[in-house]
Amino acid sequence: MSFISYLINGISLGSIYAIIALGYTMVYGIAKMLNFAHGDVIMIGCYVVFTTVTGLGLNPYLSILLSVIVCTVLGVVIEKIAYKPLRKAPPLAVLITAIGVSYFLQNFALLIFGADTKSFTSVIPMNNIKLAGDKLVISGVAMVTVCICIVIMLALMTFIKRTKAGQAMLAVSEDKDAAQLMGVNVNGTISLTFAIGSGLAAIAGVLLCSAYPTLTPYTGSMPGIKAFTAAVFGGIGSIPGAFIGGILLGIIEILGKAYISSQLSDAIVFAVLIIVLLVRPTGILGKAVHEKV
Amino acid sequence: MKSLKKLLSLSLVCVLAVSALVGCGGKKGGGNSDTYKIGGIGPTTGEAAIYGTAVSNAAKLAVDEINAAGGIDGKKIEFDFQDDQNDTEKAVNAYNTLKDWGMQILMGTVTTQPCVEVAGKTAADNMFQLTPSASSTDVIVNDNAFQVCFTDPNQGLVSADYIADNALAKKVAIIYDSSSVYSSGIEEQFVKEAAVKGLEIVANEAFTTDSKTDFSTQLQKAQDGGAELLFLPIYYTEASIILTQANTMGFKPVFFGVDGMDGILGVENFDTSLAEGVMLLTPFAADAEDEATQNFVKAYQDAYGEVPNQFAADAYDAIYIIKAAIEKTGVKPDLSAGEMGDALKSVMSELSIDGVTGKSMTWDEQGAVSKSPMAVVIENGAYKAMQ
Amino acid sequence: MKDKFNFLKNSSVKSMFVTYAIVIVAYLVMEALMFTGSVNYLLMDLLVPLCVYSIVAIGLCLCVGYLGELSLGHAGFMCIGAFTSATFSSLTKEFISNEIVAFLLAFVIGTIFAGLFGFLIGIPVLRLRGDYLAIVTLAFGEIIKNIINVLFIGKDSKGIHVAIVDPDALKMEADGKYIINGAKGISGTPHLSNFTIGVILILISLFIVYNLVHSRSGRAVMAIRDNRIAAESVGLNVTGYKLMAFSISAAIAGAGGVLYAHNLSTLTATPANFGYNMSIMILVFVVLGGMRSFRGSIIAAVLLTMLPEMLRGLSDYRMLIYSVVLIAMMLFNWSPKFKELRSKYAGVFKRNKKSKEAV
């Protein structure tokens, strides 16, 4: 019985990693850059929801919408100011700038919101389900997270396959110059990707903080790194890969803690990652999948 | 283009080098001032910022109060707090920055690992050091360093004794932070004492700084082991997640915390009903009835808009302890740091202080504080003293 | 006679001597300033850390700039160098009284272990490319940190005991003493590092990397970086050269770790000193230094380590300003708009120089 509940916990943790990883992987596919600031955009999104709900008493759904808007704008602004001027620079230069942006967002939040921990009230009204005589509890947040994660993944895949903008993204990710020659607005497409990725970050943030209700300026950084790992795990650039990578990472983390050692959980997660990458050097769904974005 | 790049970097080097050297000489050795210069070190940025900020805020509050009341024997206190990001090397930098400023007394550092390193530095300079919250015994190995908080082993010992003596539980589970000196120090001693006292430890689970979002596994193992009591020698930030997740799982043991648990009721927007029945051993309770605590809490809330935690309380006491020590010895602010250190450390064992973290606190030869922890239980969203 | 000095005309060789000269001059200037007592406490204790980060940056520069592989795990190698050497030093501090011998032995041990780990990790890892290599090195760094946090080593009359996770598994005698005590790390490491040793280590590292890149092997490494397939087709042992460069890079990072460990009396593996954040920070030094310039890496390491200390006056805004400076520097270095501006002003500057010469 406890195995099943470990598994459920793993899936619920993993689906949060997966949503964050989706944002990572989209941006990577288009801009070929690791957006280290992604985790911190999540944190900003959480603070927006927190302040508007507990401070201003806004309706939670409105505040989530507001947070998505703020994060989207933030993502686009970051792209315009910090990344766009470096499009022709070596990829490492952009990576470092992304780290600079990450530090900036953390310290900005530290100044504005303070260092003290805030307790995030779950904005998800779902009740927990109890099975097998209360022995097995499935939290409402976990169910909602998994569902939202699947919906977002499917929506993204459809968007890329069926819409013009999605096709443009695919084209830019394959070959930027050729896409430009074919009349694709490359800058616009990249901005759109950042907008979507950051919007997703806001949703991921709400789910993260609903499941694990503490909020500090550094809330986003560790899940961000873990999600980045998940994205690589699944094959960076691949949308279903990010989903699978995220879920697997969550399950491995929980099962490793449960059956091997909670003291060594980080080492276990990363060791599995290394083994997988050695067997499949481009991640689980690395090259086999053609929906590279 | 390249030459400009070079020129720029060179000029930057020069500017930095010069600015680093500005203000050298003269100041060495402290002295020659009309004010007592007290320095503080702790993390005000980075993941541990919450603790350093609390200490910095409370210390400034105490300094302002003392200065407003006319200072110490008519002399004012100057206070400067430097950030160490909870890193050993940066703590040394912070310490040296303060020395360059002319610090005579150190109130710090806040966290344990950096404090051990800085303690080596203060010993070499014979500077009087009083740490509000670095609780390892390694901090006070030298004769110039003193603590306001309990030592870690002491907390583990007292907790295990309390649980066994009051028959709170037979089967105990622990969740601790294996990457933290504070938490693993308490855990180590608790496990030893639990064996002596016949407590059965059914699950001893850890987490690390890098994986402190999800505790469902640790809780599940505690539950499967049939734990009646969950010992949490950790800080309240993680404890609040543990309480929430345990509630989701329907796991309801007795929760038992130590001083790091204090502050859980002050977490903004925290559902205090989750903390109902949580027991903790703490020297400080923000809603204690006595006048000193109430004045402190009110002043702190007015100034910073939040309820002070135990770090803040320790720092507040630390400044008043330093004041008392200065008054006892009658040292004047024109002494050097070393001379002041000699005078102050000799009187510490004679002091007995009533502060917000304890009545009639005294210090032993080692530099450890002797005060009695209060066992409190959270009832109706407030602390209630236990027998 | 003249022919003998011909090699000085080679611009990369000239640049090498300029780098040595800068390090030595900086050393002499600092020593002179310290001798006259005009250096403040902050800078005095900052000198060894500056050397530490310069050395690690040199190591990573070899890996990123010349081997062309992005490593996010160099803090892990630093960690291995630091912990192996500090363990050795605390085991032997009663037997070796000569400080220089003690440091030398610790240095050799730390460097060899870091190099060895670089080699072992390199065998599987160097098959991967680009960002996959980056994430795997990051993973190794985190694994090393995690394991050291639960590692217990003790010494008693019966010898040395090692245990993972559970300190009681050491089964030490009553006279036992912890060498590595889990998360509490190593305490009481003798303070053997100083500025002179640090500068000597910088010079040794520079000597090794410069000799490597100017050698046949170094050219092979760079050929592999520029075009792996072409290099393979002319018969270069790609894996061998990659492994060699990666191990050397790791060993140099380990040397930095040795210096770090012997500068502090307590050594713990925290996210701040040996986590991925530190690896990234070192990468920042290398990228800001121009990616393929050892001198640039050193200068960037020195500047960026000092910057947060210089900004202390800004108190709460310190780290915010630091991040802004970081972004601004990257934009300044790489953005086309700034490049234009720079070449414009550089033009003015050069013209001035010329007109002066004409006069």
| pLDDT over 90 at C357, yes or no | no
Q: What CA–CA distance (Å, rounded) separates B193 from B199?
A: 9
Tell which wins on pLDDT, B185 or C87. Answer: C87
The ipTM value here is 0.87
Of C46, C149, C264, the CB nearest to B179: C149
Closest CA of chain B from A264, distance in Å: 9
Taking contacts as CB-CB distances below 8 angstroms, the residues of chain C near A85 are: 331, 334-338
Residue C159, SS3 per DSSP:
strand
- Residue B191 and residue B270 share a domain: yes
Residue B213 lies in a domain: yes
Taking contacts as CB-CB distances below 8 angstroms, the residues of chain A near C316 are: 111
> C345, B13: Cβ pair inside 8 Å?
no
Boundary residue ending a domain (B282, B303, B318)? B282
What domains does chain A contain, in order, with CATH numbers? 2-279 (1.10.3470)
- Residue B276 and residue B157 share a domain: yes
Residue B338 lies in a domain: yes
Q: Spell out the per-residue pLDDT of chain A, length 293, in tens.
A: 678 888 988 998 898 899 899 988 888 888 888 888 999 999 999 999 999 988 888 888 899 999 999 999 999 999 999 998 888 888 888 888 998 999 999 999 999 998 888 888 777 777 777 776 666 778 788 888 889 999 999 999 999 889 999 999 888 888 888 888 988 899 899 999 999 999 999 999 998 888 888 899 988 888 888 888 898 888 888 889 999 999 999 999 999 988 988 888 888 989 988 898 888 888 888 764 343 43
In the block, tokens 């997270």 appear at: A145
Note the pLDDT of residue A292: 40
Of the candidates A145, C268, A219, C149, the residue with the CA atom closest to the CA atom of residue B237:
A219
User: Cβ of C317 under 8 Å from any chain B Cβ?
Assistant: no
- Residue B266 and residue B159 share a domain: yes
Of C266, C273, C318, the CB nearest to B83: C318
Neighbour count for residue C353 (Cβ, 10 Å) = 11
Closest CA of chain A from B13, distance in Å: 21
Q: Tell me the C-alpha to C-alpha distance, in Å, between residue C4 and each of C1, C8, C207.
A: 5, 9, 20
> C45, B86: Cβ pair inside 8 Å?
no
Q: What is the CATH number of the domain that holds B253?
A: 3.40.50.2300
Q: List the structure tokens of B269.
A: 């927007």
Residue in chain B closest to A121 (alpha carbons) equals: B269
> B138, C350: Cβ pair inside 8 Å?
no
Taking contacts as CB-CB distances below 8 angstroms, the residues of chain A near C280 are: 36, 99
Domain that holds residue B167: 153-282
- Residue B139 and residue B187 share a domain: no
Closest CA of chain B from C289, distance in Å: 10
Q: What CA–CA distance (Å, rounded) separates A255 from A262?
A: 9
- Residue B238 and residue B215 share a domain: yes
Tell which wins on pLDDT, C343 or B223. Answer: B223
What is the band of B23 on the pLDDT scale with cuts at 50, 70, 90? very low
User: Cβ of A51 under 8 Å from any chain B Cβ?
Assistant: no
- Residue B174 and residue B111 share a domain: no
Boundary residue ending a domain (B255, B282, B309)? B282
Pairs of CB atoms within 8 A across B/C: 130
What is the band of C133 on the pLDDT scale with cuts at 50, 70, 90? confident
> C187, B116: Cβ pair inside 8 Å?
yes
Whole-prediction pTM value? 0.89
Residue in chain A closest to B211 (alpha carbons) equals: A266
- Residue B137 and residue B86 share a domain: yes
The strand order across the sheet containing B128-131 reads B77-83, B36-42, B105-108, B128-131, B145-147
Residue B379 lies in a domain: no
Residue B255 lies in a domain: yes
Partnered with residue B355 across adjacent β-strands are: B358
Boundary residue ending a domain (B238, B256, B282)? B282
> B208, A119: Cβ pair inside 8 Å?
no
For C20-44, the pLDDT digits (tens) are 999 999 999 999 999 888 888 999 9
> B3, C350: Cβ pair inside 8 Å?
yes
> B208, C343: Cβ pair inside 8 Å?
no
Q: What CA–CA distance (Å, rounded) separates A210 from A123?
A: 7
Select from A33, A34, A35, A95 the residue whose CB has the most chain C CBs within 10 Å, as the one to mutate to test that interface.
A95
Determine contact, residues A117/A214, Cβ cutoff 8 Å. yes
Q: What CA–CA distance (Å, rounded) separates A288 from A285?
A: 6
Q: List the structure tokens of B29.
A: 């050795």
* Structural domain count, chain B: 2
Partnered with residue B281 across adjacent β-strands are: B375
Residue B193 lies in a domain: yes
Of A6, A119, A262, the CB nearest to B268: A119
Residue B142 lies in a domain: yes
Note the pLDDT of residue A12: 86
> A116, B268: Cβ pair inside 8 Å?
yes
Note the pLDDT of residue C245: 95
- Residue B204 and residue B278 share a domain: yes
Residue B7 lies in a domain: no
